[in-house]
Structure 1
Amino acid sequence: MTADLAVVGAGPAGLTAAATAARLGLRVTLLDAGERVGGQIHRHAAGGPVPRAARRLVRRLNGVTHLPAHHVWTVVPDGDTWLLHAVVGPGEAPAAVRARAVLLATGAYERQLPFPGWTLPGVVGAGGAQAMLKGGLALPGTGASPARSEPGARGRIVVAGSGPLLLAVATTLAAAGARVPALVEAAGYTAYARHFAALARNPAKLAQGALHGGALLRRATRLLTRHAVTAAHGTTRVEAVTVTRLDADWRPLPGTGRRIPCDVLAVGHGLVPQLELATGLGCATRRTPDGTPALEVDAEQRTSVPGIWAAGETCGTGGAGLARTEGEIAALSVAGRHSTALARRRARLRAFADAMAAAHRPGPGWTDWMDGTTEVCRCEEVTADRVREAVTDLGARDARSVKLLTRAGMGWCQGRVCGPAVARLAGEDPAPDRRPLSCPVPLSQLAQPPGAER
């Protein structure tokens, strides 16, 4: 059976879109790579309670065909419909879904900026640390379940990087029993003052930030703005980090480094929209205020490719509220409807998201954190010196040339982790991901004609 709408991604945007479209009478199929709905924001432990915000959305999914553990690896046109090919579960079984319209709500992944020691065991992504806790896994670096931990009794976790996610991560870790000696923010919160109008229109966002900040102060967490972790130290795992003050361009100021002992470093510099499916279809992209590529959509959340809509972090990071709003607008558009009130809400939330992105945009001087031996590409063990040599001595002028000369970005992650760093060392902004396959696919599936797996 052909669905009226296929939604890829079961985070806040995808869940809201699927529920809204079903309520409007459309036949909806919701595909998600995860076993449980909610995406990263509403991640929860297997068998554990679904977060309240996600429960409200799940209750509205009556009539929606939900296909969990379906990792969509390509979307191709097939007459006047779209054919979505997916790899299903650990057995990598093939599956295909046909739909008249497609909504991409594929979310984002964490941006990492390399520094000496970032490959040590115990250095984890900030969002990854939070996901481990939400998923009921061991507290990073402690081997202890957060459910059995006592306040202040577990490992010392330094939270570092840039972006509003850090406040939430540090608060979550501290509440789970970790000691968070420092929250190290590379940007300065004074940058928000340039966007007073956007802040004034979103008082709830400011209150949320103040709530997180107050919780950290009560737990004696030191907030260091305009600072960055410029090195991690240890033998078999991280034992301490060097925190250095930055100038306005994020260059380390000589003589300002200090060493902070820790058992874990949770570090991340914002999120990068996951665009492979969209760019594979030829959807146009734009540059967000923090320098990352995101999908370009119109007032109805339509991409530049007819029949393809997008919502949530694929359109630029903005939080769950904005994602839900965009998902609802997209579903209404697919059904031929419009809401002025939702459009106003989206404009208000997007203005705040853009203000955050501008305030936390990485400065060009962050590449000075790396010494020559710093591995930029962990998969292929390509150092900063090799990348710089490709640019200065071998004539590379972009990230693709560097990749061909050094193999940076040819490993398992396909440049998702090292891509921004390689691009910056090559003297350009990161380009949108363009891959024919969004995940590993068995050759047997590639050998089949379209639709043969059904």
Structure 2
Amino acid sequence: MNSRSEYDLAVIGAGPAGLAAADAAAGFGLRVALVDAGARLGGQYYRHPATELGAARPEKLHHGWRTFAGLRERLVASPLVDHLAGHHVWAAERGGHGWKLHATRGPEGGDRVTVEARHLLLATGAYERQLPFPGWTLPGVVTAGGAQAMLKSGLVLPGRRVVVAGSGPLLLAAASSLAAAGARIPAIVEATAYLGYARGLPVLAGNPAKLVEGADHAARLLRHGVRLRRRAAVIEAHGDERVTGVTVARLDARWKPVPGTERRIACDALAVGHGLVPQIDLAVELGAATVTTADHTAALRVDAQQRTSVPGLWAAGETCGVGGADLALAEGVLAAHSVAGKPAPARELRVRRGRREFASLMAAAHAPGPDWTGWVTDDTDVCRCEEVPARAVREAVTELGAADARTVKLLTRAGMGWCQGRMCGPAVACLSGGPLGGPDSRPLSCPVPLAQLAQQDGSSEPPESPELSE
């Protein structure tokens, strides 16, 4: 085993923020460990098919592919960056003169490894927020981002006739990609009316690239004859062995379904999501301070140099609030400058300011209304891992006196499954009478084999990643 305590910086996450940070830090002569659970560089945003699939033009599935290609090329060539692929970091702690990361490497539990570095940057991105409804556990019902991931990495569609539903700009991107790949999109069902953007015209004017991106998606969807249904939601999915259709209803201003407006749409797949939730488990367990964003999610609080409230810990990208790839790239560069003790570049400061303003506007425009629980029937499984229905959660509150999501979890097991509440957490919190989102502290940020907890620290060997040996 080879000790890697000579790393100056460990970056967790190889998406836009992590790639930009590692590239900039290496440019300052810092030795960087780029630690990521994925097999290839790019994270969720730059997810791309494996070489053996023979994709002729993977860039057609992406915005900003040229930026990613340049970052990847420089990182492959850099002797200062080690890409530690397939490393699932489950804990971080202070150790020696810096940080000690504990990770599981490889499939099926793999080996326990330890990565040490003087400084730590979290660029762990976000995951999709799901609001349950009857039938959401049927085969063929996937997240909006999951549908994109299937297309980007596997070159497959979730179905031939796909309804895209939920709330947020990801819906337009997902529908545009699916339609371009040959899927029939009978409707995009958006829970908001987009009127929230009208309150931020100066912000929109200051972010012309976002307007162009939105117009591009709209033009593509128009060419494919895709209809946008605003102020509506999928309140039920139908089918036996697979989804065969969905019921869509109009929503009032508080997201309560309007009786008499239901309409059924035939489909063989449903891509649904209600925005993104920053993945901040590691930072919360370390005691990092958080803020609540306009769409009721918890994000890390950082200063002008991307420093969290924990000394020696930086954060960039979606961990600080969901705002898109351009923002993540800029914050990654700013964090690297801060770690290296260099002055912040003006361009990235300008991009961060504009994109953060747009992120706040976007979050407010697509924030879920308080009455969305009106479409959740008692028989609806809220926690799909443990198969806990909404009835059990409601009974825990009304009959057993549970006053918060944690007590409900102890009484019903909702949130104790494999995903540890990432899928059901917001719903359980709402059904428990609490807020839609909030920081959730857990000692381990992902499942870990018990045998590894009993092992002594292991050190990470230099990687043998095909991508970085090209």
TM-score, L = length of structure 2: 0.92
- 1:444 is matched with which residue? 451
**2:89 aligned to 48, 54, 72, which one?**
72
- 1:145 is matched with which residue? none
Q: Which runs of 5+ in 2 are unaligned?
A: 60-64, 462-470
Distance in 2 (alpha carbons) for counterparts of 1:45 and 1:385: 42
Are positions 1:355 and 2:361 aligned together?
Answer: yes
1:135 is paired with a residue of what secondary structure? helix
Are positions 1:117 and 2:135 aligned together?
Answer: yes
Q: Which amino acid aligns with 1:139?
A: L
**2:105 aligned to 88, 102, 113, which one?**
88
Are positions 1:406 and 2:406 aligned together?
Answer: no
- 2:62 is matched with which residue? none
2:371 is paired with a residue of what secondary structure? helix
Distance in 2 (alpha carbons) for counterparts of 1:7 and 1:438: 16
Superposition map of 1:150-169 within 5 A? 155-169=160-174
Distance 1:206 1:452, change over 3 A: closer
1:401 is paired with a residue of what secondary structure? helix
**1:56 aligned to 70, 78, 86, which one?**
70
Superposition map of 1:246-395 within 5 A? 246-339=251-344, 341=346, 342-395=348-401
Distance in 1 (alpha carbons) for counterparts of 2:190 and 2:27: 43
Distance in 2 (alpha carbons) for counterparts of 1:82 and 1:440: 21
- CA displacement 1:58-82 (0-9 Å, x = unmatched): 1222121111111111111013211
Distance in 2 (alpha carbons) for counterparts of 1:410 and 1:445: 20
2:192 is paired with a residue of what secondary structure? coil
- 2:465 is matched with which residue? none
Distance in 1 (alpha carbons) for counterparts of 2:339 and 2:11: 11
Distance in 2 (alpha carbons) for counterparts of 1:305 and 1:34: 27
Distance in 2 (alpha carbons) for counterparts of 1:117 and 1:207: 36
Q: CA deviation at 1:85?
A: 1.3
Q: Which amino acid aligns with 1:80?
A: H
- 1:19 is matched with which residue? 23
Q: CA deviation at 1:138?
A: 2.4
1:353 is paired with a residue of what secondary structure? helix
- CA displacement 1:411-445 (0-9 Å, x = unmatched): 11111100000001111122212111122222232
Q: Which amino acid aligns with 2:69?
A: R
Q: CA deviation at 1:384?
A: 1.1
Distance in 2 (alpha carbons) for counterparts of 1:285 and 1:329: 20
Q: CA deviation at 1:213?
A: 1.0
Are positions 1:105 and 2:123 aligned together?
Answer: yes
Say whether the 8 Å CA contact 2:90–2:444 is kept in structure 1.
Answer: yes
Q: Which amino acid aligns with 1:19?
A: D
Q: Which has the higher contact order (CA 8 A, sep 6+)?
A: 2
Superposition map of 1:133-144 within 5 A? 133-141=151-159
**2:11 aligned to 7, 10, 21, which one?**
7
Say whether the 8 Å CA contact 2:237–2:243 is kept in structure 1.
Answer: yes
- 1:151 is matched with which residue? none
Say whether the 8 Å CA contact 2:338–2:344 is kept in structure 1.
Answer: no
Distance 1:76 1:340, change over 3 A: same
Q: Which amino acid aligns with 2:411?
A: L
Bigger mean CA deviation after superposition, 444-453 or 311-320:
444-453
Distance in 2 (alpha carbons) for counterparts of 1:437 and 1:317: 23
Distance in 2 (alpha carbons) for counterparts of 1:286 and 1:378: 28
CA-atom RMSD in angstroms: 1.3
Are positions 1:423 and 2:421 aligned together?
Answer: no
Bigger mean CA deviation after superposition, 322-331 or 376-385:
376-385
Distance 1:97 1:452, change over 3 A: closer
Q: How many residues align?
A: 441
Are positions 1:238 and 2:243 aligned together?
Answer: yes
Q: CA deviation at 1:451?
A: 4.9
- CA displacement 1:14-53 (0-9 Å, x = unmatched): 0000000000111111111101000111100111557433
Distance in 1 (alpha carbons) for counterparts of 2:41 and 2:432: 39
2:154 is paired with a residue of what secondary structure? coil
Q: Which runs of 5+ in 1 are unaligned?
A: 142-154
Q: Which amino acid aligns with 1:105?
A: A
- 2:34 is matched with which residue? 30
Bigger mean CA deviation after superposition, 213-222 or 339-348:
339-348
1:65 is paired with a residue of what secondary structure? strand
Q: Percent identity?
A: 65
Q: Which amino acid aligns with 1:389?
A: E
Bigger mean CA deviation after superposition, 45-54 or 232-241:
45-54
Are positions 1:199 and 2:204 aligned together?
Answer: yes
Are positions 1:174 and 2:172 aligned together?
Answer: no
Q: CA deviation at 1:195?
A: 1.2
Distance in 2 (alpha carbons) for counterparts of 1:360 and 1:41: 20
Q: CA deviation at 1:238?
A: 0.7
Bigger mean CA deviation after superposition, 337-346 or 207-216:
337-346
TM-score, L = length of structure 1: 0.95
**2:215 aligned to 210, 213, 235, which one?**
210
Distance in 1 (alpha carbons) for counterparts of 2:81 and 2:370: 46
